Amino acid sequence: MKIANKIILAFLILALVSIAFYSVIFYFIVKYDVERMISTSLDIALSSRAHHVLTYLEMLKVSVGQLSKSVVLEDFLKANLKEGPERQRTFEIAMKRLRRTKEANPEILEFMLLDSTGKIVASTSPASIGLDRSADAYFVGGQKSVYLKDAYFSDVLKRPLIGTSAPIVDSNTGEFLGVIAARVDLALLDKITMDRTGLGKTGEIYLVNKYGYMITPSRSLKNTFLKQKVDTANFRNAQKHKAESYLLVRGHIGIFPDYRGVVTLGTHVYIPEMQWSLLGEIDLREAFMPLRTLRLVLLFVMLSAPLVIWLVGSYMARYITGPIHRLHRGTEIIGEGNLDYKVGIPDQDEIGQLSRAFDQMTAHLKNTTTSVDKLNQEVAQRKKVEQKLRENEVKYRTIFHASKDAIMLAVPEKGFIAANPATVEMFGCQSEEEFITYSPGSLSPEFQPDGTLSSLKSEKMMRLALEKGSYFFEWMHKRKDGQEFYATVLLAKMELEGRTILQATVRDITESRVVQDQISRLSQAVEQSPSVIAVTDLNGDLVYVNPKFSVITGYSSQEVIGKNPRILKSGDKTPGEYKALWDAIAAGKEWRGEFLNKKKNGEIYWEFASISTIRNQEGRPINYLKVAEDVTERKNIERLKDEFVNTVSHELRTPLTAIKESISIVFDGSAGELNSEQKDFLDTAKRNVDRLARLINDVLDFQKLQAGRVQFNFQAANINDVVKEVKDTMAPLVRNKGLGFNFELIENPPPLLMDKDKIIQVLTNLVNNAIKFTEKGSITISTSQNNNTVGVTVADTGPGIKSDDIPKLFRQFAQLDIGVARKTGSTGLGLAISKEIIEAHKGKIWIESEFGKGSKFCFLLPIKERRADRA
Amino acid sequence: MPKKILLVDDEPEIVKVTAFRLRKAGYEVTTLSSGQEALEYLGRPENKPDLILLDVFMPGLDGYQTCKTIKDNPDLRQIPVVFFTASSGQSRLEQQIKELGATDYVIKPFELEDLLDKISRYIK
């Protein structure tokens, strides 16, 4: 439970208990006082009324008593005994006296004078004279002394009355003469009891006769006279005093129900003479009204006290616990390490003192810990800065050293202070130490390409860099060895150890300038090229055409850019051919071939085109390139030439065939037996026909090879297989001539791309030549393998060739010895054809020979060379 | 039963010597001098040669056209056709053979052994 709540609760309990205690005490004190006050006041009021009543009764008795002593009445009674004038005269006087007394006492309604026999002899009411009242209580009671008759209701006067009487005796003899009686109105008595002084609203005082009937009016009821029976505890208490002989007997005060049944605070006075009870009562409600009000007030206090107490308690609790809270918070904050915190409660009480002591303690603690903390912090901070510096330095040094750009630091107007390895290398120096000995001026030619003095311009550049913070420009530099190079320079201003320095980053752009120059040269070449050059994107749409394109096709570049080159299509090619074209290009090959195209004006033209893929640095295709020439004219000439050659060969061959076959038929005896001489001549004819046929074939072959119109069928083949086939066909010839035929073949030769038939043709030709020129010895075919070539050598033991003659051998119709040619039937075209074939394979053919020691005919074929088809 | 060969060439000398040779080799040879004659001859159902030797350059229908007609005819399609030419257009010949469905070619002047070799290869 919080202190505040404890305080509130304790406060509440304490306050409620004390309030209740004092309230009860207070209540009873007040109650006692109120009761005493009320009973005293009631008592006083009742006593005073009782005395009034007594006085009243005394007055009645006195007035009747005085009359009874009256001589006038005595005289009359004496005179009345005898008739005579005396009686009349005394009667008159007595009557006068009675009337006078009655007038003096208005409450007395009637005086009666009775004689000794009880007969009314005189009266203020003349009508009653003569009546016998000897049995009446006046007469009976009043014969001896003054008598008071209890209150009664007079039927004659129709009102409550009280009667009183007194005896009249002879003053001389003491002889009883008669009785004087008075009827008295009770109104005076009523007046006395009805006086409300000291009785409040509900208090009443009334008289009750010995029989318990009210003889004075009730405050609340009417017509109570001798009718309202009062049988209450108060009355009964009063009756207990019957035996007492005092004038008045005062009773005790008590709480009783009155004649109406209403609870009252009441008391009484007993009047023994009349046996009357004077009862005084006041409604308890009214009597104790102040107590009730007090109870209500106390109840209200009791009920409202908790709220007030709670409010006060809360305030007290806050007032007391507030500083405690502050102190607690302070300890928490300080506990977290904030020694700068001050609790600072200004109060002069114990908590204030505690707070000040606490603050003092933390201050003290702080003083001792701060110094240590500060030291630690400073050390950590310094370490961090140093670490950062070291890291930065390492970073910078790494960048500085690893940079491909030349980076150098210079102090303006002083010179270089540092340079990275790239700088040293760029300027051709041995070391950084050497480099920084050079002045910036000595690293530039005298003039820059724009003609300004390097020294002037460099000053300007440095000034600009210092002004702007950094400056970027191009600069012609000079290496240590005098070689000039062009570079970009980024001059940046830096602050280092309080000095202003310039960092220059130099990048040699000679290469990119070379590339740029090359690009401009190439683009000019392309623009001016006599060939049609067109570039398409990967969709095949044109992105560039050179001017020649427009000249040839009639389309301007604006007309065709973005379009497909098929606008030129004439329809000479089958879909299959186009597919082959695209397959070749997609495979990364260059496609070469002819198109029959249509110009803008509809004219048809031939072009020989090379189509290839342009790739970016990553090797990804980005464009297709077509370089083409208008070959219409050449085509026309070739066509004419082809037609001519075809015609000639046809015209030559047809008769030759007939001749050859005819000779053969005759020669082999199919057309009859021949003698040996005939046969010999026919043999001559036959050999020459064969030679002529070979010559024609060779000429045509060679012509076609040279024109590039021989189709090569490149396929992967094994060179040893080629050798073997030649061996099979040539071995009989070699043997016929009595020569040895040797083979030195490599094992597992790599497959080569070749036209096998053509290579067989070459090798056959070489072996043929060897057979022709070798008279004895042997022919050796060997194969060899180099890095990327396979070599074949045909070596013979023939006469050899003079070195001067070797170059002539590959010419057409090169016959070193006409005699040999004639003898062997050689056409003189074999080596020329062989050379064409080997070169078409991107190979090489040559002869090694030492005159007199035989010859070696060698050729090499590339291993990996792939070749595009040729038309 | 000797195998039948149809020899079509406009050169009578060539026809003469070649036919002589083939007959010597044991074939039954029919000679005709033009494409039209060949097609007329082949149009008759009784004429079913085992092989046709066809000259390329002939007046009127040349060898290619004649071959195409033969190959378009379902009855004759199976007969092997060997071209027979003095032309040097070797590459064109090879292409035509492929396209027309011809079987082979022989270039004049031919070696007798070559010719007989090829013929025996295509006649079953």
Task: Answer left, alpha or beta for residue B111, where phi above 0 means left and psi between -120 and 50 means alpha.
Answer: beta
Read off φ and ψ for residue A838, nearest 5 degrees: -65, -40
Q: Has residue A818 got a pLDDT over 60?
A: no
Gap between the Cα atoms of A830 and A819, Å rounded: 17
Q: Nearest by CB to A665, which of B21, B89, B108?
A: B21
Percent of chain B with pLDDT over 90: 38
Q: Which residues of A touch B108 (CB under 8 A)?
A: 653-654, 656-657
Q: Which position has the higher pLDDT, A392 or A249?
A: A392
Indicate the pLDDT class of residue A869, thresholds 50, 70 and 90: very low
List CB contacts of A617: < 8 A, sequence separation 6 or more.
none
Helix (H, G, I), strand (E, B), or coil: what is residue A666? helix
Burial class (CB in 10 A: 0-12, 13-18, 19+), A732: exposed
Q: Has residue A261 got a pLDDT over 50?
A: yes
Q: Has residue A724 got a pLDDT over 50?
A: yes
pLDDT of residue A868: 42
Task: Report the DSSP beta bridge partners of residue A783.
Answer: A792
Q: Is A646 on the interface with B (CB under 8 A)?
A: yes
Q: Nearest by CB to B86, which of A642, A650, A711?
A: A650
Q: Has residue A816 got a pLDDT over 60?
A: no
Q: Which chain B residue lies closest to A712 (C-alpha atoms)?
A: B91
Provide DSSP, A516-541.
Answer: HHHHHHHHHHHHH-SSEEEEE-TTS-
* Mean per-residue pLDDT, A152-181: 85
Q: Is B74 on the interface with A (CB under 8 A)?
A: no
Q: Which helix (H) or strand (E) holds B55?
A: strand B51-55
Q: Is A649 on the interface with B (CB under 8 A)?
A: yes
pLDDT of residue A870: 40
Q: Which residues of A touch B13 (CB under 8 A)?
A: 654-655, 658, 662
3-state SS of A833-868 is: HHHHHHHHCCCEEEEEECCCCCEEEEEEEECCCCCC
Q: Which residues of B touch A697 (CB under 8 A)?
A: 88
Task: Answer left, alpha or beta for residue A217, where phi above 0 means left and psi between -120 and 50 means alpha.
Answer: beta
Q: Has residue A817 got a pLDDT over 70?
A: no
Q: What DSSP state is assigned to residue B34?
A: S
Q: Is B25 on the interface with A (CB under 8 A)?
A: no
Q: Are A824 and A694 in contact (CB under 8 A)?
A: no
Percent of chain A with pLDDT over 90: 8
The number of C-beta contacts closer than 8 angstroms across A and B is 59
Least confident of A81-90, A305-314, A811-820: A811-820
Q: From edge to edge, which strands make up the β-sheet containing B28-32?
A: B28-32, B4-8, B51-55, B81-85, B104-107
Q: Which helix (H) or strand (E) holds A772?
A: helix A756-773
Q: Which residues of B touch A710 (CB under 8 A)?
A: 91
What the block records as the tokens of A739 is 């020569």
In this structure, which amino acid lies at residue A290?
A: P
Task: Answer left, alpha or beta for residue A807, where phi above 0 means left and psi between -120 and 50 means alpha.
Answer: alpha
Q: Has residue B119 got a pLDDT over 50?
A: yes
Q: Has residue A867 got a pLDDT over 50?
A: no
How many other C-beta atoms can be found within 10 angstroms of the C-beta atom of residue A552?
21
Q: Has residue A793 got a pLDDT over 90?
A: yes
Q: What DSSP state is assigned to residue A297?
A: H
pLDDT of residue A864: 66
Q: Is A711 on the interface with B (CB under 8 A)?
A: yes
Contact B17 A661 (CB under 8 A): yes
Q: Which position has the higher pLDDT, A2 or A42?
A: A42
* Mean per-residue pLDDT, A691-718: 81
Contact B86 A657 (CB under 8 A): yes
* Mean per-residue pLDDT, A815-834: 65
Q: Which position has the higher pLDDT, A626 or A370?
A: A626
Q: Is B87 on the interface with A (CB under 8 A)?
A: yes
How many other C-beta atoms can be found within 10 angstroms of the C-beta atom of residue A99?
12
Contact A670 B24 (CB under 8 A): yes
pLDDT of residue A106: 80
Q: Is B17 on the interface with A (CB under 8 A)?
A: yes
Q: Has residue A452 got a pLDDT over 80?
A: yes
Q: How high does pLDDT run on average in chain A?
A: 84
Provide DSSP, A5-44.
Answer: HHHHHHHHHHHHHHHHHHHHHHHHHHHHHHHHHHHHHHHH
Report strand pairing: A740-744 vs A778-785. Answer: parallel
Q: Which residue has the tokens 């056209």?
A: B65
Q: What is the ipTM of this complex?
A: 0.81
Q: Is B88 on the interface with A (CB under 8 A)?
A: yes
Gap between the Cα atoms of A104 and A48, Å rounded: 25
Task: Report the DSSP beta bridge partners of residue A115.
Answer: A178
Distance from CA of B102 to the nearest CA of A (A): 20
Read off φ and ψ for residue A765, nearest 5 degrees: -60, -45
Q: Which residues of B touch A646 (CB under 8 A)?
A: 87-89
Q: What DSSP state is assigned to residue A82?
A: S
Distance from CA of A656 to the nearest CA of B (A): 7
Q: CA A850 → CA A102, A795, A808, A834, A837, distances in Å? A: 214, 12, 16, 22, 26
Contact A658 B86 (CB under 8 A): no
Q: Which range, A340-354, A367-381, A522-536, A570-584, has the best average confidence (pLDDT)?
A: A522-536
Provide DSSP, A541-561.
Answer: -EEEE-HHHHHHHS--HHHHT
Closest by CA position to A120, among listed A148, A139, A101: A139
Q: Which residues of B touch A704 (CB under 8 A)?
A: 88
How many other C-beta atoms can be found within 10 angstroms of the C-beta atom of residue A611?
23
Indicate the pLDDT class of residue A722, thresholds 50, 70 and 90: very high
Gap between the Cα atoms of A851 and A816, Å rounded: 13
Q: Which chain A residue lies closest to B112 (C-alpha atoms)?
A: A661
Q: Are A194 and A35 in contact (CB under 8 A)?
A: no
Q: Has residue B89 got a pLDDT over 90?
A: no
Closest by CA position to B41, among listed B8, B2, B74, B11: B8
Q: Has residue A657 got a pLDDT over 80?
A: yes
Q: Which residues of A touch B85 (CB under 8 A)?
A: 650
Q: Is A785 on the interface with B (CB under 8 A)?
A: no
Distance from CA of A638 to the nearest CA of B (A): 13
**Cis peptide upstream of residue B109 (ω within 30 degrees of 0):** yes
pLDDT of residue A726: 92
What the block records as the tokens of A340 is 């700068």
List CB contacts of A756: < 8 A, sequence separation 6 or more.
A713, A715, A717, A721, A722
**Mutation choice for A interface testing from B108, B110, B111, B113 by most A CBs within 10 A:** B108
What the block records as the tokens of B113 is 């052994």
Q: Are A461 and A455 in contact (CB under 8 A)?
A: no
The number of residues making up chain B comes to 124
Contact B21 A655 (CB under 8 A): no
Gap between the Cα atoms of A243 and A620, Å rounded: 153
**Mutation choice for B interface testing from A577, A657, A697, A710 by most B CBs within 10 A:** A657
Gap between the Cα atoms of A166 and A182, Å rounded: 9
Helix (H, G, I), strand (E, B), or coil: what is residue A414? coil
Q: What DSSP state is assigned to residue A569?
A: B
Distance from CA of B34 to the nearest CA of A (A): 16
pLDDT of residue A865: 46
Q: Is B4 on the interface with A (CB under 8 A)?
A: no
Indicate the pLDDT class of residue A442, thresholds 50, 70 and 90: confident
Indicate the pLDDT class of residue A782, thresholds 50, 70 and 90: very high
Q: Which residue has the tokens 């290579």?
A: A759
In this structure, which amino acid lies at residue A628?
A: A
Q: Is A263 on the interface with B (CB under 8 A)?
A: no
In this structure, which amino acid lies at residue A323?
A: P
> End-to-end CA distance of chain A, in Å?
110
Q: Is A539 on the interface with B (CB under 8 A)?
A: no
Query: What is the C-alpha radius of gyration for chain A, rounded to an integer number of angstroms?
Result: 85
Query: How open is the CA angle A335-A336-A342, to the nearest 5 degrees?
Result: 65
Task: Report the DSSP beta bridge partners of residue A214.
Answer: A208
Q: Which residues of A touch B57 (CB under 8 A)?
A: 650
Q: From edge to edge, which strands make up the β-sheet containing A470-478?
A: A415-419, A406-411, A499-508, A484-496, A470-478
List CB contacts of B68: < 8 A, sequence separation 6 or more.
B100
Q: Which position has the higher pLDDT, B89 or B96?
A: B96
Q: Has residue A742 got a pLDDT over 90?
A: yes
Q: Which helix (H) or strand (E) holds A501?
A: strand A499-508
Q: Which residues of A touch B21 (CB under 8 A)?
A: 661, 665
Q: Is B121 on the interface with A (CB under 8 A)?
A: no
In this structure, which amino acid lies at residue A234?
A: N
pLDDT of residue A156: 75
Q: Is A577 on the interface with B (CB under 8 A)?
A: no
Contact B57 A650 (CB under 8 A): yes
Distance of CA A195 to the CA centre of its chain: 94
Q: What is the pLDDT of residues A471-513, one digit of tens each?
A: 999 898 988 888 888 899 999 998 877 888 888 999 888 888 8
Q: Is B10 on the interface with A (CB under 8 A)?
A: no
Indicate the pLDDT class of residue A90, thresholds 50, 70 and 90: confident
Gap between the Cα atoms of B45 and A125, Å rounded: 203
Closest by CA position to A763, among listed A723, A721, A807, A795: A723
Q: Is B57 on the interface with A (CB under 8 A)?
A: yes
Provide DSSP, A357-407.
Answer: HHHHHHHHHHHHHHHHHHHHHHHHHHHHHHHHHHHHHHHHHHHHHH-SSEE
pLDDT of residue A824: 55
